[in-house]
């Protein structure tokens, strides 16, 4: 393992960026003998700075699982070893009693050699990581923990939309969620330009799709919206400049910008966004892209509170609870 001061490296010179998608495949389900649904047994570790973890924070909040699964929030910066709990008193997670998320991974898999990623779910009693498979984490929170959802919680995986949702979410993941990283971590001009073209082809498709429908799947919020939102929330603050995704700003795309503000102003979404932590994560951790470590001051987050006008499209939004 690297020492405590070493920075992680993301750009592989001369190559295109390829995401490692091999995660701990375990799931928490109603009928699992090893990892059953059980209130109080697990802790969700999700750094607000990370878009993949941000998904879990939104879903956890929308479903009202605060008293069922506790949440630990690592700080926005980390080295090659692990995310740390540097914003908690004494730099220690108050429930798990650890300084680094790495400790939970090692408790179950000594010398774990893959990435120490968030979100992760940890069993509180043993301090062992259960899973870091982020697509399944949010899926299972929505479908396996239904007995513990708050009254009026949204159905984020409606049965009548699942087939189309799978297609939409797959394109959003490969071309947008991961597409911005493919631009930012490209190791050659050729790889960058190919990634840039793919990203903007997908964003143009989304702009058109959202022109006459309020949400990605029509008139109600689903997990597809959660997955797209976390990338849009970071677009102007990080991806436009830091990752060179700079054909246009989000604020220059009428449908996507209105849609993003609509979600931001919906309970459960904007309250999970911390622009200060988001910028600190990308601009400080990615030293191979931003070696000075200087964090930009803007953009002004107040623009997210401006009227979006999407009510004219109808649809069902989520009321405060």
Name the token pair of 132.
């870091």
The token pair at 165 is 């949702």
CB 119 within 8 A of CB 137: yes
Neighbours of 108 (CB within 10 A): 16
Whole-number pLDDT of residue 2: 32
Q: How far apart are CA 240 and CA 42, in angstroms?
A: 36
Write down the pLDDT at residue 4: 40
Positions marked catalytic: 50, 181
- Residue with structure tokens 């102003």? 265
pLDDT at 7: 64
Q: What is the pLDDT of residue 20?
A: 78
pLDDT of residue 13: 77
Q: Cα–Cα distance between 7 and 89 in angstroms, integer? A: 24
Q: Is the dihedral of CA 224, 260, 308, 211 positive or negative?
A: negative
Which of 209, 224, 221 has the alpha carbon at shortest distance from 166?
224
At the topology level, CATH places domain 159-273 in Glutathione S-transferase Yfyf (Class Pi); Chain A, domain 2 (1.20.1050)
Going by the DSSP 8-state scheme, the letter that residue 236 receives in this structure is: I
pLDDT of residue 3: 35
Q: Please say whether the beta carbons of 124 and 43 come within 8 A.
A: yes
Looking at residue 8, its pLDDT comes to 73
Neighbour-count burial of 283, counting CB atoms closer than 10 A to its CB (0-12 exposed, 13-18 middle, 19+ buried): buried
Token pair 């070893």 is at which residue? 81
pLDDT at 5: 44
- Annotated binding-site members for glutathione: 83
pLDDT (0 to 100) of residue 6: 59
Domain ranges for the chain, please list them.
159-273
Q: Which residue ranges make up the annotated binding site?
A: 83
pLDDT of residue 12: 77
Per-residue pLDDT at 315: 96
DSSP β-bridge partners for residue 220: 316
Write out the chain's pLDDT in tens, 321 residues. Answer: 233 445 677 877 777 888 777 899 999 999 999 999 999 999 999 999 999 999 999 999 999 999 999 999 999 998 878 899 999 999 999 999 999 999 999 999 999 999 999 999 999 999 999 999 999 999 999 999 999 999 999 999 999 999 999 999 999 999 999 999 999 999 999 999 999 999 999 999 999 999 999 999 999 999 999 999 999 999 999 999 999 999 999 999 999 999 999 999 999 999 999 999 999 999 999 999 999 999 999 999 999 999 999 999 999 999 999
């Amino acid at each position: 393992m690297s020492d405590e001061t070493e920075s992680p490296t993301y750009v592989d010179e001369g190559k295109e960026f390829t995401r490692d998608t091999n995660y701990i495949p375990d799931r928490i389900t109603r009928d699992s003998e090893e990892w059953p649904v059980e209130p109080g047994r697990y802790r969700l570790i999700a750094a607000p700075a990370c878009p993949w973890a941000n998904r879990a924070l939104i879903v956890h909040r929308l479903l009202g699982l605060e008293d069922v699964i506790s949440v630990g929030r690592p700080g926005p910066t980390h080295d090659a070893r692990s995310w740390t709990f540097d914003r908690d008193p004494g730099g220690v997670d108050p429930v798990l009693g650890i300084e680094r998320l790495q400790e939970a991974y090692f408790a179950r898999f000594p010398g774990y050699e893959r990435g120490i990623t968030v979100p992760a779910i940890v069993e509180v009693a043993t301090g062992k990581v259960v899973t870091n498979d982020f697509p399944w984490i949010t899926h299972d929170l929505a479908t396996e923990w239904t007995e513990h959802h708050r009254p009026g919680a949204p159905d984020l995986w409606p049965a009548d939309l699942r087939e189309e949702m799978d297609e939409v979410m797959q394109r959003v993941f490969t071309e947008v969620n991961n597409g911005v990283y493919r631009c930012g971590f490209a190791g050659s001009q050729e790889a960058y330009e190919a990634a840039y073209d793919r990203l903007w082809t997908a964003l143009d498709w989304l702009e058109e799709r959202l022109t006459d429908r309020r949400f990605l799947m029509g008139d109600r919020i689903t997990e597809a919206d959660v997955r797209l939102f976390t990338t849009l929330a970071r677009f102007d603050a990080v991806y436009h400049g830091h990752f060179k995704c700079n054909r246009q700003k989000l604020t220059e795309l009428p449908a996507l910008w209105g849609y993003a503000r609509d979600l931001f102003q919906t309970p459960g979404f904007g309250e999970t966004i911390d622009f200060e932590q988001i910028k600190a994560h990308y601009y400080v951790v990615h030293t191979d892209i931003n070696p000075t470590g200087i964090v930009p001051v803007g953009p002004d987050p107040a623009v997210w509170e401006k009227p979006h006008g999407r009510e004219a499209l109808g649809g069902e939004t989520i009321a405060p609870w």
